Amino acid sequence: MSRRTLLTYGAAIAGVAALTLFIGWWRVDGPGAPEPVAQRPLPLTQMEFQMTDQGGATVGPASLLGNPSMVFFGFTYCPDVCPTTLSDISGWLDDLGDDVAEMNVVFITVDPERDTVDGMAEYVSYFHPAIQGWTGTLDETARAAAGFRASYEKVAVEGGDYTMDHTASVFLFDAEGQFAGTIDYHEPREFAVPKIRRVLATTGEQTS
Partner 1 sequence: MKSTVAAIALAFSVFVGLPTTSSAGSEDIVVEDAWARASIGTNRPGAAYMTVRNTGPDPVTLVGLETPLAMMPDIHETTTDANGVSSMGPVGEITIPAGESVALEPGGMHAMLMRLQIKMVEGETFPLTLNFADGGTLTVDVPILGIAARGPER
The residue (of 86 and 130) whose beta carbon lies closer to partner 1 is: 86
Rounded to the nearest whole angstrom, what is the least distance from the CB of residue 205 to partner 1 in the complex?
Answer: 29
Distance, in Å, from the CA atom of 16 to the CA atom of 21, rounded to the nearest integer, reads 9
Burial of 151 (0-12, 13-18, 19+ CB in 10 A): middle
Collapsing DSSP to helix, strand or coil, 83 comes out as helix
CB 179 within 8 A of CB 149: no
The residue (of 102 and 118) whose beta carbon lies closer to partner 1 is: 118
The residue (of 102 and 153) whose beta carbon lies closer to partner 1 is: 153
The footprint of partner 1 (CB under 8 A) covers 37-38, 76-81, 83-84, 86-88, 90-91, 122-123, 126-127, 151, 155, 157-159, 161, 163, 165-169, 182, 184-186
Rounded to the nearest whole angstrom, what is the least distance from the CB of residue 164 to partner 1 in the complex?
Answer: 9
The residue (of 56 and 159) whose beta carbon lies closer to partner 1 is: 159
- H/E stretch holding 90 reads helix 81-96
Rounded to the nearest whole angstrom, what is the least distance from the CB of residue 187 to partner 1 in the complex?
Answer: 10
Pairing mode, strands 104-109 and 69-74: parallel
In whole angstroms, what separates CA 21 from the centre of its chain?
A: 35
Collapsing DSSP to helix, strand or coil, 98 comes out as helix
Rounded to the nearest whole angstrom, what is the least distance from the CB of residue 22 to partner 1 in the complex?
Answer: 29
Rounded to the nearest whole angstrom, what is the least distance from the CB of residue 150 to partner 1 in the complex?
Answer: 8
Pairing mode, strands 152-156 and 170-173: unpaired
Distance, in Å, from the CA atom of 125 to the CA atom of 113, rounded to the nearest integer, reads 20
The residue (of 1 and 37) whose beta carbon lies closer to partner 1 is: 37
